[in-house]
Amino acid sequence: MIVKMTFVFRIFKMILNKDVMKHLKLLFCFFIFSTSLKAEDIPEISTLTLDMPIWAVGFHDAKWLINSSKSNPKKIGFFNLSAKKSNMPKEPITQKEDDLGRTSRSLPLYLAERINIETQCAAINYVFVAQGKGPIVSGESWDFNLFKELANTEQLDFIVFGHYEKDYLDLRSSLKLEVWDVKKEIEIFSIVEKSLFKEASSVAAKLPSSFQNKIETKNICHYVDSKIYPKPRPDILAPYLDGLGQMLAQTLADNEVISGSSIWGEVQMIEWYRSLWQYMPESDANKLMFTKGIITSKRYGGVAHKDYSKNFRDFLKSNFNKNDTLSKMSPLFYSEFGFVKDCIAAKNDLSGSSTEYKNWLSKIDCQQIDNINKL
């Protein structure tokens, strides 16, 4: 859900009072070009909080997708990265999303995803957004003190933030990630990745293995591989990060942070998810990306869903298996697209499932064709 936090307003008030020209260059990275913004014209700031992987939200709070039976877990907060490149504007502006802006959000989304799936820790993503514009990217490095109040309010044990910088005509990249202990107010560790002639997502893809090793070495969390949602292979990780970034854009449109009309390349997004599914069919995460891509397209008034909904319905019916994740999700899909008979049949076939799942299933109204579900 979208949570409006006074903390976020205080961050920007503090920054702007210091002199926005010197301290922070804000890029409102979204999907259409606009004119430069003056400091006093900065729109309403909110925080999108996610306590599940981005591909698992927007499904009627389907907690059954992820193991939620964690007793007194350590809580880790992840923030979108700050980012800087050559020829950055001197004033806050709105800008079409690029690889750097998308990666500033997709890497924290991925690191938190693996924490929630593979460990007994609990991860929460905090994504700063400007209403009607999109996610915010700071042009200068974040500082621990900016997050301290929120971290204490949210009772976080650790926070993770970082900075991505490109220089020499954007040919050389440097990515630094910092992990801080909230109570002790000290940096536990940091990781730096440097590269030449690489896209942002490719550089970011080098970092997760080092992050996991450090987290385990410091005895913060212990990872256990997931059979249902295995890690993307190294050759798939960079495209997977791009998929998470695209999924966030659709989630923002689904929650009316940005308009559905600002989503461009919608068919290419869904095809991206399908390619991930094709190259890594053993992961249900890719299948859920594809499913959510179609559903959210309909919710925010997109057009891509028209090319997929009927064929996907046929696929779900012909591959039904009551123990399969997509089959369990099928009643919601049928409900969203008005396939009433299919929805009723699937609900009946799945009625013998676990209590947690049956409670979720009871929320699905097969008769409600225009079933708009938020986070």
Domain ranges of the chain: 2-217, 322-366
Segments in the chain below pLDDT 50:
1-37, 91-95, 369, 371-375
Alpha-carbon distance 221 to 114, whole Å?
11
Alpha-carbon distance 309 to 119, whole Å?
35
- The pLDDT, as a whole number, for residue 294 is 97
- The pLDDT, as a whole number, for residue 33 is 26
- The pLDDT, as a whole number, for residue 195 is 78
Domain 2-217 has CATH 3.40.30: no
- The pLDDT, as a whole number, for residue 43 is 64
- The pLDDT, as a whole number, for residue 32 is 26
pLDDT tens per residue, range 58-67: 999 999 999 7
Residue 113 tokens read as 């995803």
- Write the DSSP string, 251-305: HHHHTTSS-GGG--SHHHHHHHHHHHHHH-TT-HHHHHHHHHHHHHHHHTT-SGG
Alpha-carbon distance 255 to 14, whole Å?
28
Name which of 179, 27, 162, 187 is nearest 97 in CA terms. 27
pTM assigned to the model? 0.86
In angstroms, the Cα distances linking 15 to 19, 78, 241, 271 are 7, 20, 30, 40
What does DSSP assign to residue 36?
B
Element of type H or E holding 186: strand 186-196
What does DSSP assign to residue 233?
P
Residue spans of beta strands (DSSP E) within 17-74: 26-30, 45-50
- The pLDDT, as a whole number, for residue 350 is 95
